[in-house]
């Protein structure tokens, strides 16, 4: 796939993914994934979460959406996106995300790397590695202290 077509396709994919999060639509978020898959998180120790099927993943996404509601996430923005085309059907995307309140106040940023597969003409996330949880916890602590 030509680089500009790949960039356009990946940008459209993550725009759809971001919009599903902003709508808090767990099923639509889950539609962006391949199964089985894997999430690797650094929380001070490495945590590996297998994604075995769509229904199980929807439950985990609902937990994440609850965390976002607790701090008032209203929108997400891609601050930077870098792609590596491994093959025509296998791509990595490194994204610097920023999460904001509905009023536009920045809550926190985090980095995520997505391994994406293209099957039947569509991209799906097969694996994610991210550093979001420490940023979330710091944001929650800051907001809790402000409310006290």
Residue boundaries of the structural domains of the chain: 3-147
Q: Which pLDDT value is given to residue 3?
A: 64
The CATH code of domain 3-147 reads: 3.10.450.50
Q: Do residues 111 and 130 make contact, with C-beta atoms less than 8 angstroms apart? A: yes
Look-up of token digits 């609902």: 62
Neighbours of 90 (CB within 10 A): 13
Q: Say whether pTM exceeds 0.75.
A: yes
pLDDT along the chain (148 residues), means of 10: 81 97 97 97 92 96 96 96 94 98 96 94 96 96 91
Q: Which stretches of 23-131 are DSSP H helices?
A: 26-30, 54-71
């Amino acid at each position: 796939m030509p680089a500009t077509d790949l960039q356009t396709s990946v940008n459209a994919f993550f725009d759809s993914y971001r919009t599903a999060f902003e709508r808090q639509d767990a099923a639509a978020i889950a539609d962006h994934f391949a199964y089985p898959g894997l999430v690797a998180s650094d929380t001070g120790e490495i945590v590996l979460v297998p994604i075995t099927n769509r229904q199980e993943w929807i439950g985990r996404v609902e937990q994440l959406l609850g965390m976002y509601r607790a701090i008032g996430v209203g929108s997400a923005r891609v601050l930077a996106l870098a792609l590596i085309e491994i093959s025509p059907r296998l791509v990595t995307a490194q994204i610097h995300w920023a999460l904001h309140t509905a009023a536009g106040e920045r809550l926190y940023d985090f980095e995520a790397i997505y391994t994406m597969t293209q099957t039947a003409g569509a991209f799906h996330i097969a694996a994610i590695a991210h550093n979001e949880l420490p940023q979330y916890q710091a944001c929650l602590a800051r907001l809790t202290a402000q409310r006290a």
